[in-house]
Amino acid sequence: MNIEDEPAHWPVMSTAELARGRLVTVRTDKVRMPDGELAERDVVIHPGAVAVLALDDVQQVLLIRQYRHPVGRLLWEIPAGLRDVAGEQPWATARRELLEEAGYRARDWRVLADYYTSPGFSTERLRVFLARDLEFVPENERDFVPEGEETQLVPAWLPLDEAVRKVFAGELHNGVAALAILAGYAARAEGYERLRPADAPEEQ
């Protein structure tokens, strides 16, 4: 058996929009299952996102502390952002977010992982990049001014091995950060050169 995700579509018999917000739209689809029965599925339509595991020359991970209102916590995360600019390629979004949130550029970019964050109810798709060979960009050389939540971000560097320990200890709770840290640890063992290039196509 070939263990690989593949496209599949159950017929949608009807759909009803429940809410439309600044970021997402919520709808209910009535779908016909393979046995002929009808089932209702709530769906959150999300534009998708990217995230960046930035590693320095001594294998430290760049983390950012950010307040997350829905869970009422200050979480340590990795730089990330929405894919909300029409026509912008994922790697370009990742490059922009790394600069805007952390003030770094990277010369070496690879695709670390692709995944759906909550496929039971959301369309959100997230591509995680590995960024290495980093260069700090002074504030006076950046072409933007931080606004809103970006002014509250707190950066920190943590050895990759220590970050892995904190994931297993339940001390880091952000899902994409945990996945990226563990994937980065595995990629180091396998060799970073085996990762896909930054512009690798996404499966449709």
Locus of tokens 């220590």 = 162
Pair (29, 61) in one structural domain: no
The count of domains in the chain is 2
Pair (17, 96) in one structural domain: no
pLDDT for 152 equals 82
Beta strands in 69-118 (DSSP E): 73-77, 80-82, 104-116
**Hey, which residues are catalytic here?**
150
Pair (64, 22) in one structural domain: no
- The burial of 185, by beta-carbon neighbours within 10 Å (0-12 exposed, 13-18 middle, 19 or more buried), is given as middle
Pair (95, 33) in one structural domain: no
Which residue range is the domain that position 23 belongs to?
12-45
Q: Render each residue's pLDDT in the chain as its tens digit; 204 residues.
A: 889 999 999 999 999 999 999 999 999 999 999 999 999 999 999 999 999 999 999 999 999 999 999 999 999 999 999 999 999 999 999 999 999 999 999 999 999 999 999 999 999 999 999 999 999 998 878 877 766 677 788 999 999 999 999 999 999 999 999 999 999 999 999 999 999 999 999 875
CATH, residue 97: 3.90.79.10
